[in-house]
Amino acid sequence: MRGQVVAAAMLGLCFVLGTAILAHTWRGNVNAAQTLKVTGSAKLDLVSDLGLLRFWLQGQGPTAEAAWQDLERQRPLVLRFLESRGVTAANLETFPANAWALDEYDERGNRTGRVLRYQNDQGFLIEHSDVELIKQLSLDLAGLVTAGVQVRTNAPEYLYTDLAAVKEEVQAMAAEDAMRRAGKVAAAAGARLGPIRDARMGVLQVTPRHSTQVSDYGINDNSSIEKQITAVVHASFALR
């Protein structure tokens, strides 16, 4: 009889211990399944520190020689103009000239065998740390037409040269924002924030300041002097 009581007691104890272990395991699994997903973001303002301006001179004439001479006449006028604005030889890159003939076509689109004129184009690139100067030159170069200079300009480009370092900084800020948001949500739910389980960086957006542009492939704006860089981090945390 006593042996039966001891056996029953042992069986009951094993049942209680097993139930406790099972409950503890179940709670652990439930806690492990509780994940909080948040999105953090951060922005930094940038001011471009390098400006680029591409432009072309165009010489024309009834002969190849005349077109070249017309280009040679215009080049010193442009160089003197740029020098007067503070553009030195170190800021200016000159590209080889291209020459071609402009053929005449009849009403059916066939060449007549006559050349209407010859043309020479030469490209130049200005790089300068004074971005406001680049902006003004892009507007003023066209005015040289009054001196007989045929000039064509591209839209200026404005760059921030230390962008790599800023990318790291703004991504770190976005990660901190994600953690801050997760902590607030967890506290409001009466839970404690556990370790991070997953983090994914979104593509960076470099846009004109105050712009609302967003692209799945990222944006790298070169059109504005004042920019902002935006980083987004998608993170998930365990809850305790």
Q: How many domains does the chain have?
A: 2
Look at residues 159, 194, 227 and tell me which one is the last residue of a structural domain.
159
* Kind of pairing between the strands at 226-239 and 35-47: antiparallel
Q: Do residues 151 and 59 share a domain?
A: yes
Q: Do residues 54 and 155 share a domain?
A: yes
Q: What is the reported pTM?
A: 0.79
Look at residues 134, 159, 184 and tell me which one is the last residue of a structural domain.
159
Look at residues 128, 144, 159 and tell me which one is the last residue of a structural domain.
159
In a domain, 23, yes or no: no
Q: What is the pLDDT of residue 98?
A: 96
Task: With beta carbons less than 8 A apart as the criterion, state whether 234 and 39 touch.
Answer: yes
DSSP conformational letter for 109: S
In a domain, 4, yes or no: no
The alpha carbon of residue 132 and the mean position of all alpha carbons in its chain are separated, in whole angstroms, by 21
Per-residue pLDDT of the chain in tens (240 residues, 90 and over written 9): 444 444 444 444 443 344 344 334 434 444 545 889 999 999 999 999 999 999 999 999 999 999 999 999 999 999 999 999 999 999 999 999 999 998 989 899 899 989 999 999 999 999 999 999 999 999 999 999 999 999 999 999 999 999 999 999 999 999 999 999 999 999 998 999 989 999 999 999 999 999 999 998 999 999 999 999 999 999 999 998
**Residue 41, strand partner residues:** 232
Q: Do residues 43 and 85 share a domain?
A: no
In a domain, 95, yes or no: yes
Q: What is the pLDDT of residue 6?
A: 41
In a domain, 13, yes or no: no
**Residue 141, strand partner residues:** none
Structural domain containing residue 63: 50-159
Q: What is the pLDDT of residue 75?
A: 96
The 3 state secondary structure assigned to 190-236 is: CCCEEEEEEEEECCCEEEECCCCCCCCCCEECCCCCEEEEEEEEEEE
Q: Do residues 132 and 186 share a domain?
A: no
Q: Do residues 149 and 193 share a domain?
A: no
Q: Do residues 150 and 175 share a domain?
A: no
CATH number where 146 lies:
3.30.70.2970
Which residue, chain included where needed, has tokens 């001196």?
147
Q: Do residues 152 and 166 share a domain?
A: no
Q: Do residues 195 and 134 share a domain?
A: no
CATH number where 186 lies:
3.30.110.170
